[in-house]
Structures are given as structure tokens and as C-alpha cells.
Structure 1
Amino acid sequence: MTDINENIESPFKLKVSFNKLLEYYEDLVKNEDKTIVAKAKRVLNIASEYPELRDGFTNTKILKNREKEISIILQDTFSPLLTKNEIKTASVPFHNLIFNKSERFRDIIKTAGKGFELKIKNMPEEYRYIIACTVILNFCYGFNLNFRRPFYYEIPDANGIMRYYKIMYNADFCEIIPTEKAPKITVEDYEELLDNFENLELWKEKFPPNSYLFKGFVISNMFDVTDDQSISNVKSTLIKDEACKDDTFMEDFYEIFRSLLGINDIKVGFSIYNNEEHTFEHVYGVTASSFLLGNVEKENCHNVLCSWSHNRLFKEHKYFSISDVDKAYNKVGDCIPQINILRKQGIKSAIFAPIANEDGLMGVLEIVSNRPKELNSVNANKLEDIMPYIVSAVERSKVEEENLVEAIIQKECTSIHPSVHWRFEKEAKAFIKDEMSGKEARFRKIVFDDVYPLYGQIDIKGSSEARNLATKEDLRLQLNAVKNIFKKAQEIKALPIYDQFIFQANNYLNGLKEHFQVDSEQQITSFFINEVEPVFAHLREVKELNELIETYHASIDGKVEVLYKHRKGYDETIARINQEMASLLDKKQEEAQAMYPHFFERFKTDGVEHNMYIGESITKEKSFNLLYLYNLRLWQLQVMCEMENAYYQMQSEFPISLDVASMILVFNQPLSISFRMDEKQFDVDGTYNARYEIVKKRVDKAFIKGTNERVTQKGKISIVYSQKQDEVEYMRYIKFLQDKNYLDNDIEIVELQDLQAVTGLKAIRVSVLYHKTENDKLFYTYDDLMKELKA
């Protein structure tokens, strides 16, 4: 580069000039102090010999050729006495060209290493032009536009630690002169620019490139503000939303503390304090280590800290340091838990600072190094300035966690669906407004009128029979085990009481075969716990019986105190069916909500039931059309087919093989629903609408008229309705899904026996077509599928 204006777009045509500085010296010639006068004359004489130094120049070669003379002219501004202390440069503004510098600045750049390029940290290239224009507005037109903001250099030191230098500019030796290219800036122009800072083209229009002459230079004084910037970086990092979930969060944190402490070899960790259990725990959701815990997930505080350090953190809320872990270990051995823990991790020095507020300890900040003496009680004092921000961040995090817990509880344990949340929010705001204005505040009833209901269920067929079979098998196994132990006891020592226990066990076994009653399980369980167990406790002393009784006890479930093998398989099957079906339904619901918002809730029983309500009063907007109801009905029928398929594809994974049957209830009249505060769920509102709830609760047990056959059947979907128009509508959907190979062609329409206060119900039944696996392209009826799976 020979011309300083090369490859730079700017409103300025730059010229290095010392004219304004020389004018100061011209005034100093009149000074009474002869020494000052002599110095001023010397500077002016040099300037007169080289007029380009006053007139200005753009050729960088002149800076090199006149380096000695420029140094003399700048000698008063760059005092030789302060050159090793001051961080100072003389340069061209908005340019990286530096032509005079203090020794300390020279050393700092040299230490940064080869290839280091000096750049202002927070002055984006795209804003340089605009910032130059704001300077012109103030300098040439007298507008008081406050554009000043601190600028920084980031320069690494000898240890590779980033240090921050704040730049203060002295612009006393500058001149800005409009050229003939410069349009006159009016008040209207100024006001337009005030609202268009980022509109670069507008600024270029008002301040064309090279339309102003800049003559002079600027002096930059820099100050090491690494500590202040580290504190600021801590604040910025902790304030960021989602910061702790970022993979780079901890590495950024390391860098901040390295700059603050001036130590390259450190790591930062956290331990969160659980007040209820008095334990330290790892921070979840962050890739942060805990050096107090090591690889242990959680540990009692007394097992981690000695009594002195425990008191220091918990009572005094003060930090403590270990400057030489190995030396401390050699002195006290394994007696001090934190020293032992650190030594095992290869840590040589450490600082532990309490994260505490007036309510007590919330956690511990841990800073560790692999070198002894690096961390100590002296540099630990630097933490004083940043701990308040870490405390605030942890407090905020705890509040966010509490809010998240509440949100999860609301999601999992109540029925406030997102589609109706707006209504609850509206009433809550009204409640708060009334309360704050002194009125009697009450939470008004939440009612949605004129909504269309949809109900469906995928029910586990024969679940009661399956549980009874599992229960009887468990009881039979346990009774036989008890009987065998008493037989062995009788062989060792004949006692009539043993015969009585054997008789009782046989009596219960016969009862299981012939007449298993509702209370049979309770009676037999009571026999095991209250009669058999006390005797077994005594018989364990008999050597020949001890192993038998040990084997018996090994088969007993510790929680329920009975043999729980087959019932456990049943319970696990029911739980997994419910979980898988509910999960699939929830996932499909996201698609349905995207089509049109509606209320949705589901329940896990012996299977999964779901309610949906759709209507204008729920959506809050005047956008509802019956088209969205018909679309949701078709979606529901399709999803029920998909759930059936998904179930039979995973059936083999369950401990017990059970069947399911699906049903949809069609109700073609709109109704009202209200939120029942005591039950924390929505229910139909009004006597007329209660008919819908009666049908919903009883219809799956209904029989086909004139038969003992239930309306719901494995391998089929039953669509229960009462109006002819519903039949016509659903026949269209079935025809469509038959074409898509979701349903078979065996449609049947049946009448249902009357329910209490409900007559005239009908049902369409049609078989589902299945796939063996997700990738299977063949279609099977239920019977075909069972044959294929057993083949």
C-alpha cells in the first residue's frame, strides 16, 4: 500500500498532517519559559524544512522517510519517560495505519506473536462508513449527535490469555473540510438520518465517498480493562437465554476466568446444593464438571467437605482455597475429603466459592488448576466482583426450574390444553385486576359453547380375565411353594399344625380352580403374610429348611410381599401398551392441531381414551367452518387405524399377548363444556348434554341387539352413531380409507341394545388392514396377521 486511501471506501479523503499540532507550537513560541520556546522553535524548524508534514500527504513512503522528524514533532505527546508505561499510538482514523507507538504498545503487539492482526473488536466493517459520517455531522455542522461508545482491542498475552484494551481517542489534531463533492446537509437531512442508522445507501447519498477532506491524525490511549471486561463477559454469558444449553458455554466460561485470573491452566466447575437431602449434585443440562463430586452423580455434603470447609461455605458464605493439594495431602492424608477427591483427579490447586444468598447456599463455584500455587487465597479475591452475577444467574435458574416443574405438572397432571390456555389467561388477568383494584376477586367459570365433541378409544380386550389368570397363576405357584415347605417340615418333625397348613393351602388351590371370588386374592395374601410368614421365621432356624425358605423368599416381591411374577408381566404389558399408544396419539395430535386448533385430552385406563372438542368459541377467532370438523373426524378414523397397526407390530415385545379393539363415538349436535375446578378437568355442561357422557361411559360394553356379542371386537373398528346423516358421512370416510388400504371391505351395520335412557344407537363395524412391520407392503386382516405372526 503506497496511498493510505487505497482499498478504503469512506466519506473521507485521508491526509496525514501535523498542522493542528504545529499551530499549538506556534502559540508556545510566545511562552515566557525559554525552554518551552526553544523546544517549540525546534519543532517548527523541522516542519518548515518539510512542508508536506504541515500540508498533509497520502503516500505511506513519507511516513517511513520522515520517521525521525515525525518522532521529534510527536515527542511531547509521546513522553520518553512514560513510553514503557503508557499504551499509546498515533494513527489515521478508521484505518489500521499506525505510525508512532509507545514501547509498551510495541511489546504488547510483539508478544501477541507473528500473524496477529490488530482490529477493533466492536466496530463492524459495515458501520465504519456511517460512524465516519456521524463525525462529520458533529464536526462540520454542529449537530450534537452522541455517537460515542467504547471501542476495544483483544490482544493475547505471552500465556495465550486474551486481554482487553479500551481505546480512548484524542482528536484535537484533526481538521475536516467539505470538498465541492459534499452536498449541504440540512436539518431535514439530519432528521431523516436519525431514523436510518443502518441504511448505508442513504448515508452515502448524503455523504458521498471522498467528499470530505480529513487532515491530521489521532492519538489513541489504551488501558488494560481485562478485569472489567471479564466481569462484563460473565454478565453477558449468564444473561443469555439458552446459554447453558450451548455446547460452547463452559469453554467460553473457562476463557472468561482465565482472563480474569491471568492463568491459562484452569477449569471451572459447579456443584448444585440440594437442601432437602443435604447433598451436592451435578448440574444437569450443562456439560459442566463437578470437581467436588468427580464421577459421582450426587453425594452427601459431609462426605465431600471437612467440618471447617463445610462451615466456611454453609455458615460463613466465604470462599476457601487449597494452593497445594499434594502438600496438603502429605500433611493430613485421607482425613480431609475434599483434598483426597482433588488429588485423585490430578488437581494441584483449587478455589471453592459459595453461590449463596440470604436464603442460604445454592451451590459451589469450583476453579481448579493442574499446577500448584496457581490458585490461592490472594487471587481468590478477584471473585468478589463476579460472584453477585453468578448468584443472580443461579437464582434466576432456580426460578426457571420451578416454573418448568410447574409447567410439567400442569401438562402431565391437569387438563389445561394449549388450545384453551388463552381463556384461562384472560380470566387470571381479570382476577388479578379485580384483586389489585380492591374488588372482590373470583375466578369466573370457564365455559365453551357450541363445540362439537369427538370421542375414541383403543381398549384392551379381556383385560380383567387376563389379570385374573395372572393373579391365579401367581397364587397357585406361591401356595404350592408353601405346601412343599410344610411337607418337608412334616418329614423332619411331624406336627399336626403342619398338616393344617397343608390342608389350608390345598383348600385355597381348589378354590382357585373352581370359584375365584373378588376377595379371594385378599384372603390368600393375608394367609401368606399373617399366618405363613411368622412360622417360616421360626422354621428358618432348621438347617434342612433354611435353603427352601430362602428360595421361597427370593421369589417374593419386596414391595407387595407376595409372588408377583405373572401379575407383574400383566401390569407391565398394560403400562407399555398405554404408554406406546398415548405417545403415538400425542405425536399425531401435533399434526391435527396444525390443521385447525381444537381441545384435546386423553386418559390411560385399560387402553387409551381421548376426547376432542372443536368450535369457534375455542379458537377465539371467527374462522370455524364445519369443514374442519369433518376433517378432524376423518383424521381420527385414520389415526385409530394407524394405532391398531402400531400395536400389533409391537405386540410380540410385550410380556403378555393381549388384543385391542377400537371404537369411535359420533355425536352430531354441538354442546357446551365447562372446566370443573374441583376435578381440574373439562366436562359437558347442562342436563341435555349429559346424554353424551352417559353414552360415552357405557357404549363400549353395549351388545348388538338380540345377541350376547359386544359391539367392540378385536381386529375391527366400531363407529357408534344415532343419526342417518352420520352413517352417510362415515361411509364416505370408510370408502376413502378402503382405497388407501387402511380398511377391509367387510362393512356391517348393526343395531345396539338400548342403554339406560339412551335408545336408537347403531354402529358401523369394519375390519382393519394390518402390516407385519412398518416396511411391510402386504395387507392382512386380523386373522391373517395372527397366522403370519405364529408361522
Structure 2
Amino acid sequence: MDINDNIESPLNLKVSFNMLLKHYKTLAESDDELVSAKAKHIIKVAADYPELEEGFSDFSILEEREKEIAIILEDSFSTILTKNEIKTASVPFHNLIFNSSERFKSIIKTAGDDFELEMKNMPDNDTYIIACTIILNFCYGYNLNFKRPFYYEIPDVNGILHYYKILYNADFCEIIPTETAKKITREDYDELLDNFENIELWKEKFPPNSYIFKGFVISNIFDVTDDQSISNIKTTLIGEDKRNNESFMDGFHEIFRSLLGINDIKVGFSIYNEEEQTFEHVYGVGVNSFLLNNIESASCSGALCGWSYDRLMNEKKYFTVSDVDKMFGLSEGKAPHIKALHEQGIKSAIFAPIANDKGLMGILEIVSNKPYVLNSINANKLIDVMPFIVSAVERSKNEEENLIEAIIQKECTSIHPSVHWRFEKEAKNFIKADMNGEQAIFKKIAFENIYPLYGQIDIKGSSEARNKATKQDLTLQLKAIKSIFESALEVETLPIYEQFIYQTNNYLKNLEVNFQVDSEQQISEFFKQDIEPVLKYLYTTDTLKEQIDAYFDSIDNKVNVLYKHRKEYDDTIAVINKEMAALLDAKQVEAQQMYPHYFERFKTDGVEHNMYVGESITKEESFNLIYLYNLRLWQLQVMCEMENSYYQMQPDFPVELDVASMVLVFNQPLSISFRMDEKQFDVDGTYNARYEIVKKRVDKAHIKGTTERVTQKGKISIVYSQKQDEREYLRYIKFLQSKHYLDTDIEIVELQDLQAVTGLKAIRVSVLYHKDENDKSFYTYDDLMKEIKA
């Protein structure tokens, strides 16, 4: 069997001792008789078997010439050091080992019969290319440094993984080109330098088996378990999102077992919350805290005794418990941390503070189910790893703070994607100034020459509907109270009961004829201050218990009043806002694809939205007024679709409410800036403020000379001030009429003057509706209502 079988390589491997024998031939001429005699003896042994010098690749020769090979390698594998040194003789890129020290043999034997020796850090795909780089160094004199640390991972008798670093001695190797070897030019070399991963190119320059490797390598192997364990801890802690991986803690346990040389240990963590002075569990799959046991958090003083508290919190030094059972007895179970360990069956433990200059951040907990294996001696090994754990916790805390901030930003003060680039730019400038020692100021975020679009779908008569629901709830509650006191009079005739009935009747009468803003508060105070104490007294009367129970069952626990009709109203408003906002958000995705622009919407009694479009927002020299006109048409169409969607859902709402839609047209570009205090954009300048005034007041405006609101159910109102806006929107309306979005009843009306704003007009036109999504018929508002209620 040939050692080159099943291996693709530019090197044809031959075991040879030619270079070593050359060295002995030189030593044979030495003046030192002992050195000379030994060298001559080795040369004589090799002379009888020329294949040892010429080279061979047949496995069987290694077995046949085992004795002779051992003699040739005697000086390289000293018998005096054989039980201490970890050394092997082999050929490169192969698991073949034909000579080794007794220490190496012992390590392999301890690993078990099923253990297979395999080199780590040697990717299979790279071995061909690495062989090529060795040829470039040996045959062409290039100095390509591809030295990477290679390792063996070998378990000991207890199953603890040890790491062994391999250092090669290649003094006894030679590489000889064959007839198939291609001459490598400088141009070839330069091309290869930029194409490490191009395996086909390397094979083209170095065909398989085009060079002969003659010789052997000596591997000097060193136990670097401590160093590698520390490196592995560093690597594990650097990895992103590892805590969500189930294998994270398993790997962490394994690394600490190797570091401490103890198989039976587990690692835990607890985080210190300085604000609340508590220890808390770390979030992550399989991450436990043995200090906290099963509880989520505990006060620091409640989790530690006085001495351990001072040791960790103030001195910031580790401490060990080598015999938990003994300490549990001595402390009579009163030391909280000893009690927690004892309850979990832990026999020895190390607690190490994770702390930096700013103070304690958490506790590293290492525990074992065996006494004495964890102690103050081996705890010193943690000194080398704690800086990496501290660094990882610092990074984790910063990431958590950033994540919390990001969630707050997203959920509470989100920045629209269209303008995010400006905030990012200013944030970078802020950081740059701060890093350069300059005064860091977050500059004003403003956009000039942009066109606004505003629209709203408003719930008509929301105040009246709310008042009606309030009156209904208060009436029901008052009648229930009245009934209880009428029953109480039958049990016991007391004038106070009559007085409560009289007061209740007065409230009922006022609700009917004179409901005012403060009526709800007055009656609620009456219930709370006057009625409830008496009801608690009356509850002692058996005949009234059922009636009083029924009354309190009708009271909502959260608002502490009868909350039936008002809840139906509030639920309706919430559903309307949710559905309309969801529809608008979905449509906005399409609009952003047409042309990027700023968008925001608000839920009030209905849904309103702002849009801003212009060159300064898009950051590109691409803006044209055609995009503004397109968005205006899109907005009008979406308002019609929202109206339709609303009335298709209306029959399912607890309270029947109507909506009215309005669009505000502002002809001139304006400037907006981000108000840091309010976390939103607002218009800049006195002239631009006119737009905000109109926006806030126009939906309540009346048609000039009447008491009729400009916004009406079943209609879309388009408010504007310029004749050119009127012409533009009449074109849009004509187009939407052709698509059966709008009816033909166009009217143009003048609006009453608003504060500091005059000359406003409105186009009003009825929306055409469908009874449901599959209905192809078109209805006016009145027709739709008849169809729905039919």
C-alpha cells in the first residue's frame, strides 16, 4: 500500500533519511571519536538498505525496517527524554507517524481505542495550496509565510480535552521537480499572490505529483491547554448572539474544564443591577445562576452573607467554598449563598467578581458536585481569563443599552427611513467632533423647499357619540342605585335613603336635559364619596346582597364606573384607527416605491397623515413636480379606498359611526425642521406657520355664511386657496370619476375665515361605494346605507 493513495497533491511523498544521513556522513569525519563512531555505525546500518536513503512510499517498508529506522532516529528521539518530550516523526499532510516518543504514545493510549488523531486548523481544501507554497519556498527561493498554529485536541483519562501545539522541524526534507513540473516565472508568482482560493489556478501551475518530496519532518509537540483554553474563552466571548445558541454554555463548560483540569464543573453567571442593588439572571439559553438558584433576582445583601458581600462588592476579589456541606453546618444554614449551593447539591464553588474601574458588573460562578476540587489554589487560574470576561460583559452591557435605546427609538420616536440618512450624517459628525476633542453639537435637522400633503379621515360626531355613551352608562348606574335604595326603604324606612333617591332622580333629569362637561365627574364623585360607603353597610342585609353584588359586577375594575356603552365607543374608535392606519401603511409602501418621501400618521378620532416630498429629502437630483402631482393623485385615490374599506367594516363595529375625509392642498414649498423636544417634524418660519394653522382648524370650518361643516359624511373635501390648485384637482376628480371612485356631484364652496387665514375654498364630491370587496355595483352614501340596513 502506497502512502500517496487517495491523496491529491503536487507532492509525491517519499519517506527518506537522505538529508539526515548526509549530516551523519559529515559527523563521521569528526575529531570526536565517540561522535564519529556513532555516525559511522548509523551510516553502516543504512547502507544495507538503500531505500532508506533513496526514499520509499510503501507502508510495508516502514514495518520491515522499523529497527533500522529507530537506530537512524536515535539521536533525534533521545531515550533519556522520551518520557518527557512529546515528539513524532512523520511526513507532511498525512496522519502517518512512524516514530514517536514514549510520552506521545502514552497520551494516545490514554485517549482511548476509538480516538483518531486529527490535526486541527488544517482545512482539507487548503492542503494542496499549502503544499504549493512550500514548493515556492524550497525550489524558487520565495519567502511566503503561511505559518499557522496547528493543534491536536486529545482527551485525557478523565475525558478532559487537552490542546497540543505542533512545531515542525523540516531540516531533513528536500523537494525535487519532476519532468511534469512547470517552471514558475515571476509573472506566475505575482498572479498566484492574488488568487489564494483559486484551486484550479494552483493546479495549473503545480500539476498533481509534479514534485517529489523526499525526507521526513519531526514534530515537536507542546501541551498548551491553558493558553488555548484562554484563547477559546476569548473567541467564545467575542462571538455575536452566542447566548441564544444552546451549545454556547456547553462549550463554555468544556473550556473551563480544560483550563482547570476538572471534569465535573459547571459555569454560571449573575448580573449586578446597580440601580436596584440586585443580582439578576442573565438572558440566554442554558445560562444559569447557581447563586440565585431558581429565583429571577435577589437583593445583593439577601443573596450573600456579610463577609462574602464585602469581598465581592467592595474588595472586588474572588472567594472559594471548597466544602459546601462543612460551611453549611458551620453557618447553621444562615449564609444565603451557602444555603443556595447546598440546596442544589453543589459541594465546592468559586465566586469571582466581574468588575471594571466603574464597579461591579456581575458574578462568575464555577461549581462542582465534588468537594475540594474547586479551591483557592486553582482559583488563581481565573486571573488570566477574567480580563476577557470583563471585556465581554462590558460589550454586552453596551450592546444591551444600545438595543434598549434602539427599541425606544423604534417604538416611541422612530425616524422615517426617507430622512434617516440626515440623522445618521449628523450623528457621525457629532461623534467625529467628540473624538477630536471639539464641542459636539447635534445640528438642526431641516429640509427646505419641500411640498406638504395632508389628509385625514375623521370620525363625524365623535364628541356627541362619546357624550351619548356616557349618558347611557351613567343612567344605567343611577337607575341601579335608585333600585337598591328603593329596596332598602322596604327593609328599613330611613329618610337618608329617600334623600339618595331624590338626588339620583335629579342627576337622571339633568342627564336628560342638561348634560355638561363636568356632569360625568360630579356623578362619579357622588358614586364614590356618597354611595359606595352606604352600599358596604347595606351589604350586611341579606335581602340586598344579591342586588348589590349585581351592581358591583357591572362596575369596571379599571375605571371604577359602569363602562358598557363607553367601552363599546372606545373599542369602536380603537378598531377604526387600527384598521384605517393599517390600510394607509400598506398603501404607503407602494407610494414610497413611486418616489421616496417623508410620511407620518397619527391616530386621533380617526387617522390623519402628513407627507413631505422634495429634493432635499431624497438626497438625489431627481425631483420633478410630476412626482408631487403623482402623490396628490395617489393620496386622493387612497382616501376613497379608505372610505370604502371603512363602510364595508362599519356593520361589524359595536357603535355605528360615520367618517368624513379631507385633503388640504398647500401650493407653495416650505421648510420643516425636527423639533428635538417633541421628537417630530414641524414647519419653520412665520409664513410656513400658516400651513399648520389651517391644518389644525380647517376640518371644523364652516361654509361661508352657513353653519354647515365643510367636511361631510359620504364626501371628500379638498381644501385649497389657489385657482391653479382648483384646476389641478378637478382633473384628478374627473379621472377618478372615470374609474368610479367619485360621483358627479361636484360643488365648489368658500370657507369662513380662520384665524389669520382668509380666501380658502373647498371642492366637495361624493364618494362611490361598494357594499363589499366582491360587489361590482356603485352606491352613493345614502344608497349604501339603505343596502346595508336592508
TM range (shorter): 0.7 to 0.9
- Pairing 1:521-532 to 2, within 5 Å after superposition: 521-529=520-528
1:230-265 deviation digits (Å, cap 9, x = unpaired) = 222222222223333445433433433343344455
Name 1:231's counterpart in structure 2.
Answer: 230
Cα offset, 1:552, TM superposition? 6.8
- Pairing 1:41-190 to 2, within 5 Å after superposition: 41-113=40-112, 116-190=115-189
Cα offset, 1:170, TM superposition? 0.9
SS at match of 1:761: strand
Q: Given residue 362 of structure 1, which amino acid in structure 2 is its aligned partner?
A: M
1:355-388 deviation digits (Å, cap 9, x = unpaired) = 2223232223334455666555554443332222
Partners of 2:644 and 2:107 lie apart in 1 by 71
Alignment of 1:763 with 2:764, yes or no, is yes
Q: 1:695–1:758: 8 Å Cα contact kept in structure 2?
A: no
SS at match of 1:723: helix
Q: 1:703–1:752: 8 Å Cα contact kept in structure 2?
A: no
Cα offset, 1:294, TM superposition? 4.7
Name 1:683's counterpart in structure 2.
Answer: 682
SS at match of 2:119: coil
Partners of 1:779 and 1:325 lie apart in 2 by 82
Structure 1 residues 25 and 435: alpha-carbon distance in aligned structure 2, compared to 1, 3 A threshold: closer
Structure 1 residues 696 and 315: alpha-carbon distance in aligned structure 2, compared to 1, 3 A threshold: same
- Pairing 1:407-418 to 2, within 5 Å after superposition: 407-414=406-413, 416-418=415-417
SS at match of 2:153: strand
Q: Given residue 311 of structure 1, which amino acid in structure 2 is its aligned partner?
A: D
Q: Given residue 763 of structure 1, which amino acid in structure 2 is its aligned partner?
A: R
Partners of 2:483 and 2:500 lie apart in 1 by 11
Which 10-residue stretch deviates more, 438-447 or 615-624?
438-447
Partners of 1:645 and 1:237 lie apart in 2 by 57
Partners of 1:763 and 1:318 lie apart in 2 by 78
Q: Given residue 63 of structure 2, which amino acid in structure 1 is its aligned partner?
A: K
Partners of 1:344 and 1:579 lie apart in 2 by 51
Cα offset, 1:350, TM superposition? 4.5
| TM-score in terms of structure 1 length | 0.84
Q: Given residue 749 of structure 1, which amino acid in structure 2 is its aligned partner?
A: I
1:750 to 747, 752, 755: 747
Partners of 1:327 and 1:95 lie apart in 2 by 54
Name 2:613's counterpart in structure 1.
Answer: 614
Structure 1 residues 164 and 437: alpha-carbon distance in aligned structure 2, compared to 1, 3 A threshold: closer
Cα offset, 1:298, TM superposition? 3.6
Q: 1:415–1:601: 8 Å Cα contact kept in structure 2?
A: no
1:541-583 deviation digits (Å, cap 9, x = unpaired) = 9999999889877776676665556545544554455455545
Q: Given residue 88 of structure 1, which amino acid in structure 2 is its aligned partner?
A: K
Q: 2:278–2:298: 8 Å Cα contact kept in structure 1?
A: yes
Q: 1:234–1:386: 8 Å Cα contact kept in structure 2?
A: yes
Name 2:508's counterpart in structure 1.
Answer: 509
Name 2:730's counterpart in structure 1.
Answer: 727
1:740-788 deviation digits (Å, cap 9, x = unpaired) = xxx5x7554333451422422113332443648xxx8998978899899
Which 10-residue stretch deviates more, 634-643 or 681-690?
634-643
In the alignment, structure 1 segments of 5+ residues that lack a partner are none
Partners of 1:785 and 1:255 lie apart in 2 by 72
Partners of 2:767 and 2:88 lie apart in 1 by 88
Cα offset, 1:74, TM superposition? 1.5
Alignment of 1:599 with 2:598, yes or no, is yes
Name 2:474's counterpart in structure 1.
Answer: 475
Structure 1 residues 402 and 566: alpha-carbon distance in aligned structure 2, compared to 1, 3 A threshold: farther
1:572-612 deviation digits (Å, cap 9, x = unpaired) = 55445545554554455455445532212222222322211
Aligned length: 781
Alignment of 1:466 with 2:465, yes or no, is yes
Partners of 2:197 and 2:8 lie apart in 1 by 16
Q: 1:12–1:213: 8 Å Cα contact kept in structure 2?
A: yes
Cα offset, 1:307, TM superposition? 3.9
Cα offset, 1:111, TM superposition? 4.5
Structure 1 residues 150 and 697: alpha-carbon distance in aligned structure 2, compared to 1, 3 A threshold: same
Partners of 1:369 and 1:784 lie apart in 2 by 80
Structure 1 residues 613 and 130: alpha-carbon distance in aligned structure 2, compared to 1, 3 A threshold: same
Which 10-residue stretch deviates more, 84-93 or 703-712?
703-712
Q: 2:716–2:764: 8 Å Cα contact kept in structure 1?
A: no
Structure 1 residues 236 and 459: alpha-carbon distance in aligned structure 2, compared to 1, 3 A threshold: farther
Q: 1:719–1:765: 8 Å Cα contact kept in structure 2?
A: no
Structure 1 residues 563 and 33: alpha-carbon distance in aligned structure 2, compared to 1, 3 A threshold: farther
Alignment of 1:673 with 2:672, yes or no, is yes
SS at match of 2:770: coil
Q: 1:747–1:766: 8 Å Cα contact kept in structure 2?
A: no
Q: Given residue 151 of structure 1, which amino acid in structure 2 is its aligned partner?
A: F
Name 1:700's counterpart in structure 2.
Answer: 699
Cα offset, 1:219, TM superposition? 0.8
Q: 2:705–2:752: 8 Å Cα contact kept in structure 1?
A: no
Which 10-residue stretch deviates more, 279-288 or 559-568?
559-568
Which 10-residue stretch deviates more, 453-462 or 614-623?
453-462
Q: Given residue 104 of structure 1, which amino acid in structure 2 is its aligned partner?
A: R
Q: 1:415–1:681: 8 Å Cα contact kept in structure 2?
A: no
Partners of 2:467 and 2:251 lie apart in 1 by 60
Q: 2:485–2:501: 8 Å Cα contact kept in structure 1?
A: yes
Cα offset, 1:618, TM superposition? 0.6
Cα offset, 1:338, TM superposition? 4.0
1:102-138 deviation digits (Å, cap 9, x = unpaired) = 3333344444455544332212222222222322333
| TM-score in terms of structure 2 length | 0.84
Which 10-residue stretch deviates more, 65-74 or 105-114?
105-114
SS at match of 1:100: strand
SS at match of 2:761: coil
Q: 1:748–1:766: 8 Å Cα contact kept in structure 2?
A: no
Q: 1:154–1:164: 8 Å Cα contact kept in structure 2?
A: yes
Partners of 1:123 and 1:511 lie apart in 2 by 90
Cα RMSD (Å): 4.2
Q: Given residue 726 of structure 1, which amino acid in structure 2 is its aligned partner?
A: Y
Partners of 1:650 and 1:158 lie apart in 2 by 73
Q: 1:269–1:367: 8 Å Cα contact kept in structure 2?
A: yes
Q: Given residue 510 of structure 1, which amino acid in structure 2 is its aligned partner?
A: K
1:430-466 deviation digits (Å, cap 9, x = unpaired) = 5676788898876554332332323233333433233
SS at match of 2:230: helix
Partners of 1:88 and 1:12 lie apart in 2 by 24
Q: Given residue 747 of structure 2, which amino acid in structure 1 is its aligned partner?
A: V
Structure 1 residues 295 and 593: alpha-carbon distance in aligned structure 2, compared to 1, 3 A threshold: farther
Q: Percent identity?
A: 69
Partners of 1:18 and 1:605 lie apart in 2 by 90
Structure 1 residues 709 and 264: alpha-carbon distance in aligned structure 2, compared to 1, 3 A threshold: farther
Partners of 1:556 and 1:627 lie apart in 2 by 57
Structure 1 residues 641 and 402: alpha-carbon distance in aligned structure 2, compared to 1, 3 A threshold: farther
Partners of 1:347 and 1:222 lie apart in 2 by 37
Cα offset, 1:169, TM superposition? 0.7
- Pairing 1:362-761 to 2, within 5 Å after superposition: 362-369=361-368, 375-414=374-413, 416-428=415-427, 444-480=443-479, 499-529=498-528, 562=561, 566-567=565-566, 570-571=569-570, 573-575=572-574, 577-579=576-578, 581-582=580-581, 585-586=584-585, 589-590=588-589, 592-626=591-625, 628-629=627-628, 632-633=631-632, 636=635, 658=657, 660-667=659-666, 669-702=668-701, 712=711, 722-732=725-735, 735=738, 746=743, 748-756=745-753, 757-761=758-762
Cα offset, 1:18, TM superposition? 0.8
Partners of 2:338 and 2:174 lie apart in 1 by 65
1:13-72 deviation digits (Å, cap 9, x = unpaired) = 322111222233233334555544443333222111111111211222211221221122
Partners of 2:438 and 2:364 lie apart in 1 by 48
